[in-house]
Amino acid sequence: MSYSGLGVYQQQPPPKPPSRAPLWIALAVVGVLALGGGVTAFVVLNSKSEATPTSSGSTPTSTTPSGPEWQPVEDSQSGLEYELPPSWESTGAGASGPVRMSTSYVSRPFQCQGRSMIQAQAMAGTAADDDLEKVATDLVNRIAAGGYTVNGAPPEIAEPQVESGDSAEPEVVRVSVSVTPKSASACYAPKATVSAVALRNGKKTSVFVLNVAEGGPHVAEGPSDDDVKRILESVRLS
């Protein structure tokens, strides 16, 4: 395995599809495909998930009053709905530990040192465990540690910040961790935040996770702080 950037190790990618080149990321665990207990860090954009952007019933939203509407996403498999910036693209599904991911979206790709890369990824899925805090905390820590280990050196992962739902939404838990890898390069951001929103859905947990590189030379290609807040606040059961 070879190191391809900020905390991301990649195995040999599969053959390129004829229509699109692989998309490489400076973040943790793109694709989140389970492989021998580990992860592989590549995404090919011609692999579409079953989630579909919807256009009905939503209040028009945009990054600016005159900007394009955001895309609502309804994931029937995870039982979640959420909103993303209009430039984000759907990729394939996969798994991260006990969480089965049914949708994955990535921010607008950019070119750096001959590779197509991204600054952020959003995913939704389900877990059989109904302990919301445990599911969310394990997921953000797994993504942070698995994706940002550099040359065998694990990143610095801050204590998880946990916010439980109030009386208005008692069955929601939000967890985030700040990540600082031990190495960086000209293409990659020096830090990241991995956030998750876990919601009780019958006997299972529906969970949404957002992985965002912060700072660095390509920060404009990823979501702003306001965008991140809006994405996380949009997550709800469908």
User: Closest Cα partner for 165 from 204, 200, 210, 134?
Assistant: 200
CA-closest candidate to residue 182, choices 210, 216, 157, 213: 157
Tell whether 61 is covered by a domain: no
Alpha helices in the chain (DSSP H): 132-148, 225-234
> Where do runs of H (alpha helix) occur along 76-214?
132-148
Is 59 a domain residue? no
Query: 84: domain CATH number?
Result: 3.40.1000.10
Would residue 64 count as lying in a domain? no
Are the C-beta atoms of residues 76 and 51 closer than 8 Å to each other? yes
pLDDT tens digit at each of 238 positions of the chain: 332 333 332 333 444 444 344 444 454 333 333 222 233 232 333 333 445 554 333 333 334 444 679 999 999 999 999 999 999 999 877 778 899 999 999 998 888 888 788 899 999 999 999 999 999 999 999 999 887 777 778 899 999 999 987 656 669 999 999 999 887 667 777 899 999 999 999 999 999 999 998 888 888 899 999 999 999 999 999 8
CA 36 to chain CA mean position, Å: 21
pTM: 0.75
Q: Which residues contact 4 (CB under 8 A, 6 or more apart)?
A: 10, 24, 41, 115
Task: State how many domains the chain has.
Answer: 1
Which residue segment(s) compose the domain that 43 sits in? 2-51+70-237
In this structure, is residue 192 part of a structural domain? yes
Q: Tell me if 62 is assigned to some domain.
A: no
